[in-house]
C-alpha cells in the first residue's frame, strides 16, 4: 500500500513538472522565437555563401550544407508565421511541439555556427585549412551527443524519484535552478577548460568567445531538447499534458493577426520583404548602381514607401493619442 502511494506521488510530481514545462519554457507559443534563429542564420549564410564561392570556386546553391541552411531558414519562417496563429498551434499541440523541438535544434545550430564564424573566419590560418572546420564540427557534435546521453540519464533518474516542487516552480522563472548543482559545476568546469583551450589554440578574443559560447549554448540547449522531446512523447500519449488555450485566442486567426490595416503588422511585413529583397541582391552579387533602371527604381520606391508609411503611421498615431487625451 505504501509502495503504491509512493508511486502515485512520484507520477503526480512528474506530471506537474512537465505540465509546468509545457506552459512555460516548452510552450507552443515559444515558436514566436523563430525570428532569433532566422536572424543569426541569415547573417551566417551570407558568410558561408561567400566562403564557399571564393574558397572552392563553386556555386553555393550546389553545396549540400548551404542548401540545408536555406531549408532550415525556410522552416524557421514557417515557424514564425505559425506563431502568429496561436489558435492553430494550441489546437494541434503535437504538431506544434514537434515544430518547437526542431526549431530549438535550429536555434542551437545557429548559435554554434556563430561560434564557428568567430573561431574560424577571424583567423586566416584556420580559415585556409578545411580540417579545422571538420575538427570544430566533429568535437561540437561529440560534445552535444555526450551531453544528450548525460541528460537522458539525468531525466531517467528524475522520473524514478519524482521532480521536486522547487524544480517545477523554477520553470515559471526560467531560472538556473532548473539545473542541479552537479550539472552547473560540470558546465562551469567545461567552460573554464574550453576557455583555456581556446586561449592556447586561437590566441584571439574572438576564438575564446566562440568556444566559450559554444560550450554554454550546447550545455543549456541539450537539456531543453531532451525535456521537450519527452514532453512531445507525453503529449502524443495523453492530452492532459496539453496547454489550455487562452480565452483571448479563441477568436484569433493568422489573417486577423497579420491585418495589413494595422500599422504594426503592415510595417513588419514591409520591412521583412525589403530586407529579403536586399539580402537576395547581396547574395546574388547584383550591382544595383549598374543594374537596369527598373530594378534601381524598384528598390528606391520600396524604401521610400516604407519610410513614408512609417512617418504617416506615426503622425496618425500621435493625432489619435491627442484626441483620446482630450
Task: Classify 148 as helix, strand or coil.
Answer: helix
Distance, CA of 137 to CA of 69 (rounded, Å): 15
Instruction: Identify whether the C-beta of residue 202 lies closer than 8 Å to the C-beta of residue 130.
Output: no
Residue pair 32/102 in contact by the 8 Å Cβ criterion: no
Q: Residue 236: its pLDDT value, please?
A: 94
Q: Looking at residue 121, what is its pLDDT?
A: 74
- pLDDT confidence band for 183 (50 / 70 / 90): very low
Question: How would you classify residue 325: left for phi > 0, otherwise alpha for psi between -120 and 50, otherwise beta?
Answer: alpha
Alpha carbon 121 to its chain's center: 22
DSSP state, residue 58: S
pTM over 0.75: no
pLDDT score recorded for residue 279? 58
- 54-87: string of b/e by CB count within 10 Å (b at 16+)? eeeeeebeebeebeebeebbebbeebbebbbbbb
- 52: its cell numbers: 564557399
pLDDT digits (tens, 9 = 90+) for 52-109: 887 778 888 888 888 898 889 889 888 888 888 888 888 889 999 999 999 999 989 9
What pLDDT digit, counting tens, does each position of 107-128 carry? 899 888 888 887 777 766 666 6
Nine cell digits for residue 303: 524604401
In this predicted structure, what is the pLDDT of residue 39? 81
* Inter-residue contact 277 to 302 (CB < 8 Å): yes
Amino acid at each position: 500500500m505504501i509502495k503504491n502511494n509512493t508511486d502515485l506521488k512520484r507520477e503526480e510530481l512528474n506530471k506537474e513538472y512537465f505540465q509546468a514545462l509545457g506552459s512555460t519554457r516548452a510552450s507552443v507559443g515559444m515558436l514566436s522565437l523563430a525570428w532569433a534563429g532566422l536572424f543569426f542564420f541569415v547573417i551566417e549564410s551570407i558568410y558561408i555563401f561567400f566562403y564557399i564561392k571564393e574558397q572552392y570556386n563553386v556555386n553555393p546553391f550546389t553545396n549540400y550544407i548551404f542548401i540545408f541552411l536555406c531549408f532550415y531558414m525556410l522552416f524557421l519562417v514557417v515557424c514564425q508565421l505559425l506563431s502568429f496563429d496561436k489558435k492553430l498551434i494550441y489546437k494541434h499541440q503535437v504538431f506544434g511541439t514537434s515544430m518547437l523541438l526542431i526549431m530549438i535544434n535550429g536555434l542551437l545550430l545557429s548559435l554554434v555556427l556563430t561560434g564557428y564564424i568567430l573561431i574560424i573566419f577571424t583567423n586566416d590560418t584556420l580559415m585556409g585549412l578545411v580540417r579545422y572546420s571538420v575538427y570544430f564540427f566533429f568535437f561540437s557534435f561529440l560534445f552535444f551527443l555526450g551531453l544528450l546521453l548525460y541528460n537522458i540519464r539525468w531525466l531517467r533518474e528524475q522520473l524514478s524519484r519524482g521532480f521536486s516542487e522547487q524544480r517545477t516552480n523554477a520553470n515559471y522563472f526560467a531560472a538556473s535552478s532548473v539545473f542541479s548543482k552537479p550539472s552547473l559545476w560540470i558546465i562551469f568546469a567545461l567552460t573554464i577548460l574550453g576557455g583555456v583551450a581556446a586561449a592556447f589554440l586561437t590566441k584571439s578574443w574572438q576564438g575564446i568567445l566562440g568556444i566559450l559560447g559554444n560550450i554554454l549554448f550546447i550545455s543549456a540547449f541539450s537539456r531543453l531538447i531532451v525535456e521537450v522531446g519527452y514532453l512531445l512523447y507525453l503529449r502524443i500519449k495523453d492530452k492532459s499534458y496539453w496547454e489550455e488555450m487562452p480565452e483571448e485566442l479563441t477568436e484569433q486567426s493568422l489573417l486577423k493577426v497579420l491585418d495589413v490595416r494595422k500599422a504594426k503588422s503592415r510595417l513588419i511585413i514591409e520591412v521583412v520583404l525589403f530586407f529579403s529583397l536586399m539580402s537576395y541582391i547581396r547574395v546574388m552579387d547584383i550591382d544595383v548602381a549598374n543594374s537596369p533602371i527598373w530594378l534601381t527604381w524598384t528598390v528606391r520606391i520600396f524604401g521610400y514607401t516604407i519610410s513614408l508609411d512609417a512617418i504617416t503611421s506615426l503622425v496618425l498615431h500621435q493625432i489619435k493619442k491627442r484626441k483620446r487625451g482630450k
